Every structure is written in structure tokens, then in C-alpha cells.
Structure 1
Amino acid sequence: METIKVNFENRIDMEWIEQGAEIIKRGGVVAFPTETVYGLGADALNQDAVKKIFEAKGRPQDNPLIIHVADADLSAFAQEIPGKAQELMDKFWPGPLTLILKKTDLIPMETSAGLDTVGIRMPSNETAMLLIRASGCPIAAPSANISGKPSPTNFRRCVEDLDGRVDMIIGDGSSIVGLESTIVDYSVHPPRLLRPGYITYDDLLTVDHEIVYDEAMTRADEKEIPKAPGMKYRHYAPKAPLTIITGNEGKVEKRILALAENYQNQGKVVGVLAPKEREKMYNKENIRFISLGSEKNSSEIARNLFEGLRTFDDLNVDVILAEGFSEKGVGVAIMNRLKKASGFNIIEV
């Protein structure tokens, strides 16, 4: 397949948006930017088009898709919208929030992975909204990468993964959030936070104090169909095995340097992921150090996380050692992604 590739550097070109929309209307697949990460989109109401998403990504068929809409009227897609869910929509849409609701029969089972629920969100990215409106349908869109790899937050990474696999790739710069959307399940009572994100648990509680969060509930076992993406399979993972080291800052630094030396003695190339405050500590000739930004700015760290993990692939490291981050605010989402990228391989010191 020859992939059409277009990157809006200075302004959005509606001719390319219309071409992308025509591809989606014909049942094709288009990668496009959102404020969270880049998405891989197809007509959410066309079961054959949705199957192409799974094929392009190598995504398991029991991993449900989120549908992206440009209109807050969800009556065609959701059986009902609880009052507090509507309040969250009013406050945070358009933006990085997905709500899981009981679906109508209009949503194919291929989109919902056989579940009677569907995740819905309205992105704030202008290119995404224009594409959805021009397509005239909700767009089902997981992250635009090969399944399991760190999600792409720029045009180049989409091309790396999907060139020749999809009909079109549209870019418009780097994602401003850098983490997938927060997901709240309103098909159950009390509602549950299934995936933390840029909109934090505390943000959600300002609207609905009944929302519950239990980290164990963000994972599904092997026999269970996950209600949201990222719950069951190894996600966000670079090629090299990743270990997280958490605890007292001084002890964390010493343990990382000791582990790095041990791996180097085995002839392995070591990567270290940490805040920029530790650059002098880790930026040594025999360590591939990547800074995610200041530990005082969790939004910066979130925005750079996936690109940092993918850069380790570029550097061909054999192992990655990552400092843990404070699990407050957006830090909960950062650690959620890091833990899943590591396969929950965590050392506490």
C-alpha cells in the first residue's frame, strides 16, 4: 500500500483534510494528530473499516476502540448519559477525557470488541475536529503505532510505524499533552477511573465525588475483555527491557548507577530515564541519558515520556533504567504508563 503523507507545518490545508475525509468515507484508514497522541482512524460505524485498524496495528481483536466525535450530542451512540457524565463533558470537552457508556446498536461489535459499552471523546486538536466533521461520522481511533510500542506524539513516529500500512498520515506538530486520554467508566456505579491521564483524579472529583480509582482496576486478566485500551496487553513498551527504581532520591541514584555499572560489565548498552535535575549524575560517557524535563513540571514530563522511550530504540540500548516519579496529579498517569511499559518491573529502595 502506498501511503499519502502530509505534514502541516504552518497552517492547516483543507484540501488535504477533505482528501483524508474521503478516504475515511470509503472505508480507509487515516493517521491524524490529536492533543493527546496521534490516532489511527476509520469510520467507527463501518465494521470492515474498523477491522483495518486492527490489521494495520497488529492489535488484538478484544481490545476496544475509542470513538472520536465533533458534536456533544451522543444520542445516536450512547443509550443514556448519566447527569454527572454530562457535567464532565460540559467541563472538559473538547479535551483529553473519554467516557465509557452503554452503546447503541449503531456501534458495531468490532468497534467495541464485543462489549455492550463504548468509549467516546471529543478531541480539542483542530486538525482532528476538522477531519471528523468532514468525514461525517465518528472516527474510531487508537494510537497510531504498532500495537504495544510507545504511542506516537509526532508525525515522524507515525511514519516510522505505519508507512505502507495505512492510506494516509496527517501531521501538524507534536501532541501538546503526550499521554492518552483519561478514561472514566459510567456504565457501572459508582463510576470508575480506568485510565489516569492529564485530567487528573482530583479534577474529576470536583465534578463527581463518587468516581472511584483503584490501580488494580486499571488491569484486566488474560480471560477478561478489557473495557478500555491499555488495560490488558503490554503497552507503551520500548524494545529494551525497562526497570523502574523508586524510593529515596539518593538511594535511587546510587542503585541506578550500580545497576548500570553491572550491566556495562556484561557488555550491555544502558539507557537512563530521569528528570533533567539528574543530568550531571547520569550523563556519563557510558550511559545513554534522556531527560524528560524538570521534575517540578509534570506536564512537561508527560509530554516527553513516549518520545523519550522511543528515542531509546533509536539509540539501540540493551536495558533501560528509569527513575520513578511522584504519583501526584499528572504523575499518576506518568507512572501508570511507565509501569505498563516495564511490565511492572519495579525496584523499591
Structure 2
Amino acid sequence: MALITDSNEAVRILKSGGLVALPTETVYGLGANALDEQAVAKVFKAKNRPSFDPLIVHVASVDQARLIAEVSDEAAELFERFSPGPLTLILPKKQIVPDLTTSGHTTVAVRIPNHPITLEVIRNSGLSIAAPSANPFGYTSPTTAAHVIEQLGDRIDAVLDGGPCEVGIESTILELTATPKILRLGGLTLESIQESIGNVNIESSSSNPKAPGMLSAHYNPGVPLRLFESLDELLAQYNSVNKSSIGLLIMGDGPSGINIYNLSTSENDLEAASRLFTGLHQLKTKGFSEIWAHYLPEKGLGRAINDRLKRAAH
């Protein structure tokens, strides 16, 4: 695998049917031409991803989205309000999109990422780019180029280094049914969506997923993760065990040390989200046999963080 900084090289690889890990504001995505079934098959193989789990297609504009999907007025308004950004919409697909990209569904997941380098790659290539998280299926998502290299190694052609991801958790996935449904909590909060379109249901688990991130077990950090209801409950248990083998992932006014990763001492959920996967990666890399974490307040980005922790601990 090559570590590259030239977006033109990424364009060349993608147009030739190769795989490039691309930076986005959420996590690094494993990019391939979404309309090239052979390239898409390489994504599934590199990630060891089951074929029933559909991919998100990244585009640079609403006009480009219309080339691959039926974009209603409501969908266009949501794109205009929240994109580029961490919103993915489930839309009726056009025939040009291979069934493998959508795992056989008649819908396709579409988003406009908020990262200048990847938007440049999409525009300069003219491609719609399928880009699930650039990591082995079911494991912790990568938020730096180093995470991609560590997890995927030579399974892909290149990683385009765009620095650390600003949001740090995946996009929110929304299906515009009669009562809109969130299929995956993510970087756009429930509150923001409700302010825009009113009542929204949350349907975030399925064994036959219409969108990524819906399986009950996901985001595995590679060591057992134990969850507590609160920081106080975690610390009460922690004080009575052998601390040397346990890494702590906490938020707020807690202890510090080599085995403790604090997502945000000021309890800022934006900061916590941006540091979540990095914290899990670091604690695993330090060799702890177990990671302990606690739920955050169930509001704002705390909902999406709790969702990731719950699936990682499953």
C-alpha cells in the first residue's frame, strides 16, 4: 500500500479500478468506483465484508446524486441544508448502480462528504465513489491514515492522507419514509434533523440491513469492551480490581494516567465524538486485555457515541 498526498494519484488509481482510502470529516472511507462492479467487489474482499451489507456512495453535489438516484424535493432540501456533511440519505436507485453496491436493495445510500481533498477527488475523477469505512468489517473505524495502514496493510492500493477526521464518527443515515427513519445514528444529531423535518423514528438494528452500521455487533476494538452506566459506577468497580490490565475510556472529571483515555474533560460531545475511535485504537495498541467505558448522556452526539460503544461491546 502506498501512502500518498497527491489527489491526482488517487484519481488515477480510482479510474483504473483500484482502491484508495480517502479522508472524510467522519472516518476514512475505502473508495472505489461505485458503478464498476469489479472495483466494488474488491472493496468487499479487502474488508472481508458480507455481501448483504450495502455501501454508501459519495458524490460532490445534488446534481451528481441525481445521476445515480431519484432525488425528491425533500431529499434535495435536506442535502442543501446539511451537506456537505455527515448526512446519508437512502434514495431509490437508478439502474446504473450495480446491485452489489446496494446489496440487492432497490435503494442506494448517498452522501456528500465535507472534506476538501475527497470532494476534489470526486470532482476531478467524475466518479461516484463507494466508500465504506477503511477497515476490516466489524472492527473499529479509522480516523487517521495510520489507522488504515495498521488495519488494511497491503489489501488496498493507497491511502490518501488528509489528516485526522474532524467529526470522528460515521454519518447519520436517514430514510425518507412517511415518517422518516434514522437507520444509523451518527455525526448529524437527531435534534438537528427534527428541527428541520419534525418527528423522526429510530430503527438502528437489522439482520438484513438497508444501510451500514445496523448489525448489533460492530466497531469491535479487538479486545473485550465492558460498559458501565456512568463514570461513577465505572470508577467504583475499577478501584477494587487489578488496574494494570484494564484501559479506561472515559469522559469528564476523572482520573488520568497511562491507561486512561479521556474523550473530553469538559464533557463536550463534539470533542468526544472526534476522539472516540482514536481512543479505542490507542487503548488496544497499548496491549490492555480489556477496555472499560461508560455511557454518555443520551443527547446530541452522545446518542451516536453510545450506539458505537454498545455495538462494540456486543
* TM, length-normalised to structure 1: 0.86
Q: Deviations over 1:173-226 (max 9, x none)?
A: 10000000011012x32210111122111100111114222xxx21113xxx20
Question: Aligned residue for 1:11?
Answer: none
Whole-Å Cα distance in 1 between the matches of residues 228 and 105 of structure 2? 37
Secondary structure (helix, strand or coil) at the match of 1:175 reads: coil
Give the Å deviation of 1:331.
Answer: 0.5
Aligned to 1:26: 16
Verify the 8 A CA contact 2:62 2:76 in the aligned structure 1.
no
Per the alignment, residue 220 of structure 1 pairs with 206
Contact 1:34/1:125, CA 8 A, preserved across alignment: yes
Pair 1:75 & 2:56 matched: no
CA drift of 1:118 comes to 0.7
Q: Which residue of 1 aligns with 2:200?
A: 211
Contact 1:45–1:107 (CA<8 Å) still a contact in 2?
A: yes
Aligned residues: 313
1:113-139 Cα deviation digits (max 9, x unpaired): 111111100011001101111221100
d(CA) in 2 for partners of 1:46, 1:134? 17
Q: Is 2:7 the counterpart of 1:17?
A: yes
Query: Contact 1:245/1:256 (CA < 8 Å) preserved in 2?
Result: no
Corresponding residue for residue 241 of structure 1: 224
Q: 1-side partners of 2:106 and 2:216: how far apart?
A: 21
**What is the aligned counterpart of 1:230 among 191, 202, 213?**
213
Within 5 Å, give how 1:132-151 maps onto structure 2: 132-151=122-141
Q: Does residue 1:312 correspond to 2:283, yes or no?
A: yes
Question: What secondary structure, in the 3-state scheme, does the structure 2 residue paired with 1:303 have?
Answer: helix
Cα displacement (A) at 1:317: 1.1
In the alignment, structure 1 segments of 5+ residues that lack a partner are 9-15, 344-349
Aligned with residue 295 of structure 2, among 324, 327, 331: 324
Structure 2 unmatched ranges of 5 or more = none
Per-residue CA deviations over 1:316-340 (Å, capped at 9, x if unaligned) read: 1111111211111110011011111
The question of whether the paired residues in 1 share the 8 Å contact of 2:234 and 2:292 is answered with: no
- With over 3 angstroms needed to count, the CA separation of the structure-2 counterparts of 1:295 and 1:147, relative to structure 1, is farther
Contact 2:250 2:261 in 1 (8 A): yes
Whether the aligned pair in 1 keeps the contact of 2:21 and 2:134 (CA below 8 Å) is: yes
Q: Give the AA of the match of 1:331.
A: G
Query: Contact conserved, 1:294 with 1:300, CA < 8 A, in 2?
Result: no
What is the deviation of 1:250? 3.5
RMSD: 1.6
Greater CA drift, 293-302 or 31-40: 293-302
Q: Deviations over 1:126-158 (max 9, x none)?
A: 011011112211000000111111111011111
> Which of 14, 31, 42 in structure 2 is aligned with 1:52?
42
Tell me the distance in 2 between the aligned counterparts of 1:113 and 1:147: 15
Question: What displacement does 1:257 show?
Answer: 2.9
Q: How does 1:268-287 map to 2 (within 5 A)?
A: 269-280=245-256, 283=257
Among 301, 309, 313, which residue is 1:338 paired with? Answer: 309
The residue number in structure 2 matching 1:115 is 105
Give the AA of the match of 1:257.
N
Residue identity in the other structure for 2:254: R
SS of residue matched to 1:311: helix
Larger-Rg structure: 1
Q: Distance in 1 between matches of 2:155 and 2:310?
A: 29
% same residue: 38
